[in-house]
Structure 1
């Protein structure tokens, strides 16, 4: 490797893993370039709350430049990466530029996976970006608005039916919040419809919801959703999805608003390098999180397939990505200093959390399991703690306290209306 002062580290992606790596590496005598196609870092665990009118977008996203401006050796570039020239050691950008590197960190995140049915995406948007959140919020609120002036009873029922496909944490959180929005927040705002008649259907192909949690917590979460008025349909795979609704086996469920929370696929990083990947496209990394055959390239977060034992892998969640980013920074610094590299990466499970509406949640910390209101407060404190900046922590905490006590959500704004919303909700 080159001397530390001349060593150039390029990080693709400013998510949790990329940002953690950049901050840890910036303390040394290296040059760092962070490339992202968006100018903001997004706190994805709370993205569903922006999509369901609970939080403003500015409360869960921060400009990347402002987060890294305290490090003089870090340059931030706004650009879309189209490939990696591993032989020439350069990152290729959409505008034709090539950014040379000595060490490369792939923290490129994930995208929606429709299991071979990409034609479903226009009808069932997923939730990964601020743009996704705006689209989903617009569709949810527009459905109520259109139902208000709809005379046809069948069409009104379709407009007031919300189908969420996939019952992992995102699907469960979306379903619970939409049910509360319909049954509490909006119930006094309309004159021609009773928003409490809205139908929220959570569809899961597997035998139970929240498969990553223990069965008792999963069972509790399903009961909590049912109390909120959510219809939970497990063991049902979606065979068709279009503007009219979804098909479950032989059953057609008319629904104007369909949301996708069933699966994700990694970015094309493995394709850029032509290296082995798992079924979701995650790079099969070495124990030190480097890419096999390319010791100067590392992969973290949703980009990496990191074995956990017993056929499991490290989950694609924020704490895991931060641990991996921190670990890779340690490996790179040890190499540059000529010191022994750290032991193989070991994931520390800080626990699983999921919320069901504004008063219930489940928490599995391994040594203790919580459910109900105590779990909800634990979930809230944990998420506020990981937000960036005192202002955001205070505003989010105050927003949650207001929603908790009044049921009202202040971010109920319909923006960027389009002809698409008139066709499919």
Structure 2
């Protein structure tokens, strides 16, 4: 039986209840903006932590511990007296009855903010979804790290040079910031860690291949920074394959539309994202990338009490005919605007349209190298890397997490080592299956 707290009628509470689905950047921004408003806030999330996903690739490549980029939601909400938390999976919304359907029972709302984020977009290709690895949460990042380390262990014991070469080939599909950062991190893992941990392996045989379907990487960056990033990756030893669309995948590699293939036991799919699966369950109009179409005020066209923000929201305006990008700054500003519009409704005032203040973009390519485009300033190399370090460090939630990440970065920088090289977090059955795939 559902808790009475979850099924209370919207007319009963002394103050309106705002339910927020998702504890990502947008959801937490909305909580902060509503902290002093005359409302009761209930934040629902399927995990009990907020994850700083821009650093997820460092967990996947043994650079950071998972707990370094995650922070308990309840600890974040302590400072907000009008906010509470529910750990549950949201499966749908009954808009007519104003109920959020969750694994803990129905939750009533007066206003609803949907900020459930995004997931990997495999573009309907079941083979790619089955045989490649995504990287959208801590579980996937840990699974990728375990897989990479298992590949090295098997390569150390493999006598067949062709098979060993496939085990030491790491392919990344997608030339966006995630793909570029992951490719650079793989090279540094090989160069600074694998060559010392596995002296029996010839690391010259190891390959990192970045595959992009279009003619350039980092499509949202200026052409000069695209060229700088490409040059840096190639100097590091990354094989960058442009104009190479993927046709399919199998347990041992990728096939391409030109008829060629790449044998690789590790294939990471970073070629696209789409709205969270919750978007499909809402029964509302979806735009490109399975994102919910919203009004300029961030509400559903037919329900001004329901807001959709962040990666889930499809709203054109960034450029003519182009929706706002699925990045943290957009989610944060949308969360703040949704909160302001809820307060405006409560006060019988008109809502305001969303206006994005672009604070720029950046991507790291590897040790002492990055690209930065912000406020008309375009940098590459060490200055951009220093800026990237500062911005990401300060954006982490909690002093403890900042201290852990800073210590890990300092240790890696001065020692050329990485301390998180443990194969754990998987059950014996899952590890046995992984080993069987590698042997197949």
- Report TM bin, short chain: over 0.9
CA distance in 1, matches of 2:437, 2:336: 43
Alignment of 1:338 onto 2:355: no
Which residue matches 1:69?
Answer: 78
Deviates more, 1:22-31 or 1:207-216: 22-31
Which residue matches 1:421?
Answer: 434
Which residue matches 1:397?
Answer: 406
1:23 shift after superposition: 1.8
Which residue matches 1:326?
Answer: 336
Which residue matches 1:123?
Answer: 131
Deviates more, 1:107-116 or 1:399-408: 399-408
Scaled by the length of structure 2, the TM-score of the pair is 0.93
Residues 1:189 and 1:271: Cα distance change in structure 2 (over 3 Å): closer
Any residues of structure 2 matched to 1:20-419 within 5 Å, and which?
20-95=29-104, 97-248=105-256, 249-307=258-316, 308-341=318-351, 343-415=352-424, 416=426, 418-419=431-432
Report the number of matched residues. 423
Secondary structure, in 3 states, of the residue corresponding to 1:376?
Answer: helix
Residues 1:420 and 1:213: Cα distance change in structure 2 (over 3 Å): farther
CA distance in 2, matches of 1:144, 1:272: 41
1:390 shift after superposition: 1.7
Deviations 1:39-97 (A, max 9, x none): 110001001111111111111001111111222322211111111000011001135x1
Asked if the contact 1:5/1:31 (under 8 Å) is kept, the reply is no
Asked if the contact 1:182/1:196 (under 8 Å) is kept, the reply is no
1:2 shift after superposition: 6.7
Secondary structure, in 3 states, of the residue corresponding to 2:358?
Answer: coil
1:3 shift after superposition: 9.9
1:143 shift after superposition: 1.0
Secondary structure, in 3 states, of the residue corresponding to 1:193?
Answer: coil
- Structure 2 gaps of 5+ residues are 1-9
1:149 shift after superposition: 0.6
Scaled by the length of structure 1, the TM-score of the pair is 0.96
1:393 shift after superposition: 1.4
